[in-house]
Amino acid sequence: MKTISIPCNNCGAPVKPVRNQQFFSCDYCGSSLKIAPSVNIEEENLKYKIKHELNMLEKEWELARQDLIIVDSNGSEEEPNIRSAHVGSMLGLIILAFSIPFATSVEGMIIFAFGLLSSTSLFVKAFEHETKASDYKKAKSAFETAKEKLKHDLEELRIA
């Protein structure tokens, strides 16, 4: 007789059902599982595995998202986007353009140096922001594609 295991809905540890038994407990976390007697155990096993994969995918995305999200000095979070990177670049150009006319005296050179330093800092930040925006978009797209595939697989099992 073939032995199968079902991943626990809570922790994912393998739970080995006993034939003709509706209730199972996870030896690892103690969670209870119920399988209706009229269902196909192998089909249920596949459904639980897909649900577990979906759950793990959500957790992995949240961790990846936290690495890519931008947190401002107030602790507010925002998704990185290309538009804000372009705003930073434009601001850098404006600061640089306004500091150029002052470069005719010693005091003006200090103002120009400050403008050059500020605009360079803004350009670097804009580049980092643009890179993060691109990475975020790719990661989010990959997550959504994988999530939709798992949901589709699960829906096909429900229909069958």
Query: How many domains are there within the chain?
Result: 1
Which are the contacts of 15, defined by CB distance < 8 A and separation ≥ 6?
Answer: 5, 6, 7, 8, 24, 25, 26, 27, 33
Q: What is the pLDDT along the chain (160 residues), one digit of tens a residue?
A: 456 677 888 888 888 777 667 777 888 888 887 776 555 778 888 888 999 999 999 999 999 998 888 887 788 888 887 777 777 778 777 877 777 777 778 887 887 778 777 778 777 777 888 888 889 999 999 999 999 999 999 888 876 6
pTM summary value: 0.57
The range of the structural domain enclosing residue 109 comes to: 70-159
Q: Residue 14 forms beta bridges with which residues?
A: 7
Q: Is residue 91 part of a domain?
A: yes
| Residue 59 CB neighbours (<10 A) | 10
Q: Is residue 39 part of a domain?
A: no
Residue 119 placed within a domain: yes
* Residue 147 lies inside a defined structural domain of this protein: yes
Q: Which of 82, 47, 79 is nearest to 66 (CA)?
A: 79
Structural domain includes residue 61: no
